[in-house]
């Protein structure tokens, strides 16, 4: 993906490489640049058009063996494990920020990245340094021969996950917050035994892999549940929630739902200090968090915030001291790039990584609640593996003008002309197409007045490309 500096402008390979063919990678790691070349010589399921969702492809035994060879660094960590369709990044960011506010050293492993690969592995909001990142990959490269010889080569995400565990253990973080990559049951983060397991909002996404119904998806996500480890979620679709409870019972744990099993409420308000925002309250036998402002825009972030507060409550029995005054400071400091992020003022441009129908709905509602504008111009591009029809229906409802494009860093991107044809079957609104983000921004710039708004959305690839574009433009 595009990144801030020239040394990270390497493109991941999507065709079978030496490593994927069972042969050791010939790249010698001497610095961060060569480390990236080595990393991108491994299959990256995020970049592949076709992926089998099965045990041979997503092999937890391979991940366990890798970690064993590294000294099982994950077993040295206290962990919060988060899965779900929407809101994973938000919950992880708020949990990490609140724990930092309480004085803890917090490792955060998240995906995808917007601009710099190292965004995926941070400690107290600082990306892993270039040299440390190279050394982590070098350690993993030194032991990967066993996997190549067995014809079971490591994947991009397995390497990244192992590197995060190794780094967090070496730096002796107080707690690590882990975001799953895909699903949960077969995700390579699912080798851990956390202090608490979390399921965020569920919706239809990756249906060709995880299942075509919410209960099927719920079962895959609930695969992160562990016996005796408390599990948390928010109110879900009835059938999906029943499935989560079934899996919890089968696993031997207790699932609690905020707003049902845990006293939680929120309200939307506006004042001079914060403008339009949401405040939340969460009360348990051990905690009392009252009227805390949600730092992220959108009413949909209130349940995410409640879930993050419930996580802190579950950490108390493990010795974590989380007083409300420090929690409030930490929560207010939460930052999450690529979600309702303003990247340019004239014309006003907001980027958001909404990548499924439910997220597009939440985005348009949030824009209506938090941003004043006359007309909304949406620059939209998404992956071929998404619920394109569902997303386009929400685009039609929320945008006044639409420009379809594609991210140059996404090999799975749907062609703009194909998006336009599919959109024509759903809506009579006029659309334009552009073969690049830069071209689409020029079209949008000519179409807006001072009071209009441009929103770039549909994928994190597109949001990240737009973020990089405006950062570099500001430098010029």
> Tell me, what's the pLDDT at 54?
58
> Tell me, what's the pLDDT at 11?
41
* Homologous superfamily of the 341-475 domain (CATH): Mur ligase, C-terminal domain (3.90.190.20)
* pLDDT band (50, 70, 90) for residue 385: confident
* pLDDT band (50, 70, 90) for residue 18: very low
Q: Which of 439, 473, 472 is nearest to 456 (CA)?
A: 439
Q: Where are the beta strands (DSSP E) in 340-382?
A: 341-344, 348-351, 376-380
> Tell me, what's the pLDDT at 355?
86
* Homologous superfamily of the 77-104+174-332 domain (CATH): Mur-like, catalytic domain (3.40.1190.10)
∠ CA(241), CA(262), CA(287), 5° rounding? 145
3-state SS of 118-182 is: HHHEEECCEECCHHHHHHHHHHHHCCCHHHHHCCCCCCHHHHHHHHHHHHHHHCCCCEEEEECCC
Asked whether the predicted pLDDT for residue 21 surpasses 50, the reply is: no
> Tell me, what's the pLDDT at 473?
86
More confident call, 130 vs 408: 130
> Tell me, what's the pLDDT at 350?
96
What is the model's pTM? 0.88
> Tell me, what's the pLDDT at 475?
82
Rounded alpha-carbon distances, angstroms, from residue 406 to 116, 380, 388, 410, 411:
20, 8, 13, 8, 10
> Tell me, what's the pLDDT at 52?
57
Asked whether the predicted pLDDT for residue 8 surpasses 60, the reply is: no
More confident call, 160 vs 21: 160
More confident call, 366 vs 8: 366
Asked whether the predicted pLDDT for residue 307 surpasses 60, the reply is: yes
Average pLDDT taken over every residue of the chain? 89
> Tell me, what's the pLDDT at 271?
86
Rounded alpha-carbon distances, angstroms, from residue 399 to 298, 323, 347, 357:
17, 43, 16, 14
pLDDT tens-digit readout, 364-382: 999 988 898 999 999 999 9
Extents of the domains making up the chain: 77-104+174-332, 341-475
> Tell me, what's the pLDDT at 387?
87
pLDDT tens-digit readout, 268-282: 888 888 888 899 999
> Tell me, what's the pLDDT at 412?
83
> Tell me, what's the pLDDT at 439?
96
pLDDT tens-digit readout, 186-240: 999 999 999 999 999 998 765 555 657 999 999 999 999 999 999 999 999 999 9
More confident call, 28 vs 48: 28
> Tell me, what's the pLDDT at 15?
41
> Tell me, what's the pLDDT at 51?
53
Average pLDDT over residues 388-412: 92
> Tell me, what's the pLDDT at 205?
62
**What percent of the chain clears pLDDT 70, i.e. is strictly above it?**
90
Asked whether the predicted pLDDT for residue 82 surpasses 60, the reply is: yes
Question: Whose structure tokens read 């979390």?
Answer: 198
> Tell me, what's the pLDDT at 45?
58
How many angstroms separate the CA atoms of 356 and 429, rounded?
A: 21
Contacts 24+ apart (CB under 8 A), 470-475: 470/343, 470/344, 470/349, 471/4, 471/115, 471/343, 473/344
Q: Which of 163, 208, 164 is nearest to 182 (CA)?
A: 208
> Tell me, what's the pLDDT at 98?
98
More confident call, 94 vs 149: 94
β-partners of residue 123 are 107, 126
> Tell me, what's the pLDDT at 305?
98
Residue 96 has phi, psi (to 5 degrees) of -60, -45
> Tell me, what's the pLDDT at 71?
97
> Tell me, what's the pLDDT at 26?
65
> Tell me, what's the pLDDT at 16?
41
> Tell me, what's the pLDDT at 14?
41
């Amino acid at each position: 993906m595009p990144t801030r500096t020239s040394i990270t402008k390497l493109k991941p390979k999507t065709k079978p490489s030496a490593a994927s063919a069972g042969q050791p990678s010939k790249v010698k790691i001497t610095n961060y640049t060569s480390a990236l070349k080595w990393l991108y010589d491994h299959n990256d399921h995020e970049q592949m058009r076709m992926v089998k969702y099965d045990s041979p492809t997503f092999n937890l035994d391979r991940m366990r063996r890798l970690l064993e060879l590294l000294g099982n660094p994950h077993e040295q960590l206290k962990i919060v494990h988060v899965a779900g369709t929407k809101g994973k990044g938000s919950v992880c960011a708020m949990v990490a920020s609140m724990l930092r506010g309480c004085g803890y050293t917090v490792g955060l492993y998240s995906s995808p990245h917007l601009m710099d690969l190292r965004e995926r592995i941070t400690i107290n909001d600082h990306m892993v340094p270039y040299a440390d990142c190279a050394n982590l990959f070098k350690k993993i490269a030194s032991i990967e021969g066993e996997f190549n010889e067995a014809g079971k080569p490591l994947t991009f995400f397995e390497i990244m996950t192992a590197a995060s565990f190794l780094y967090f253990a070496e730096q002796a973080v107080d707690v690590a917050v882990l975001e799953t990559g895909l699903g949960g049951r077969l995700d390579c983060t699912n080798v851990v035994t956390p202090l608490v397991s979390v399921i965020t909002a569920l919706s239809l996404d990756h249906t060709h892999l995880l299942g075509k119904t919410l209960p099927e998806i719920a079962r895959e996500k609930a695969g992160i549940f562990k016996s005796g480890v408390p599990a948390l979620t928010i109110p879900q679709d009835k059938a999906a929630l029943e499935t989560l409870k079934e899996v919890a019972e089968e696993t031997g744990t207790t699932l609690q739902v905020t707003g049902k099993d845990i006293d939680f409420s929120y309200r939307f308000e506006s004042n001079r200090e914060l403008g339009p925002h949401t405040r939340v309250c969460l009360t348990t036998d051990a905690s009392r968090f009252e009227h805390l402002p949600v730092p992220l825009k959108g009413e949909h972030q209130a349940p995410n915030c409640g879930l993050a507060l419930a996580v802190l409550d579950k950490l108390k029995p493990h010795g974590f001291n989380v007083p409300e005054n420090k929690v409030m400071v930490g929560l207010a400091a939460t930052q999450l790039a690529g979600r309702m992020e303003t990247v340019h003022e004239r014309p006003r441009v907001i980027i958001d990584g909404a990548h499924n129908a439910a997220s597009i709905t939440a985005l348009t509602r949030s824009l209506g609640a938090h941003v004043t504008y006359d007309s909304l111009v949406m620059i939209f591009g998404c992956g071929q593996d998404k619920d394109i029809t569902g997303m386009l229906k929400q685009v039609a409802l929320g945008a006044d003008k639409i420009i379809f494009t594609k991210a140059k860093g996404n090999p799975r991107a749907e062609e703009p002309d194909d998006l336009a044809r599919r959109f024509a079957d759903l809506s009579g609104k006029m659309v334009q197409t552009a073969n690049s983000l830069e071209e689409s921004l020029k079209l949008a710039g000519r179409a807006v007045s001072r009071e209009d708004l441009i929103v770039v959305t549909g994928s994190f690839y597109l949001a990240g490309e737009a973020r990089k574009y405006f950062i570099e433009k500001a430098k010029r």
